[in-house]
Amino acid sequence: MMAPAMSPESQLSRMEDARRQTQRQLELIDRQITRRMTAILPQLARRQTGYHRGKASDGRTLLERYRVNRAGLTAERQPEAEALSRKLARQDAAIAALRDRLSSAGPHASQEG
C-alpha cells in the first residue's frame, strides 16, 4: 500500500527542518574548532620565551602560532565542512524552487488533487 502524497506545504516544512539541521552541523564544526583552540591557547602562551627574564612577550609570535594551529584544525575538518556547505547550497536551491512553485501555483494549488 502506498503512503498518501505529502502536501507541498508539509514538504517545504520538512525541507526547511533538514536545512536547519545541516546548518546546525556546520555551526557545530566551527564551535568544536573554537573549543579546541581555546584549550590549546594556554599552551601556546607558555611557549613564549623571554618573559620570565623580564622581557615583554611578543604578541605577534603568539598570534602567528594561533593562526597556524587554527589553520591546522580547520584543515582537518575542511572536507566535512565543505560537504555540508554544498549540501546546504543544494537545500537552499531546492527550497527556493519549491517556494517559487508554490507562489506561482497560487493559494489554492495545495487543495487540488
pLDDT tens, position by position, 70-89: 999 999 999 999 999 999 99
Quote the CA–CA distance of 91 and 11 in Å, as a whole number.
12
pTM of the full predicted structure? Answer: 0.72
**pLDDT value of position 46:** 73
Cα 103 to Cα 79, 98, 100, 107, distances in angstroms: 36, 9, 5, 7
Count CA atoms closer than 13 A to 37's CA, side-chain side: 18
Which three three-digit cell numbers place residue 16? Answer: 526547511
pLDDT digits (tens, 9 = 90+) for 27-74: 999 999 999 999 988 888 776 555 555 565 667 888 898 899 999 999
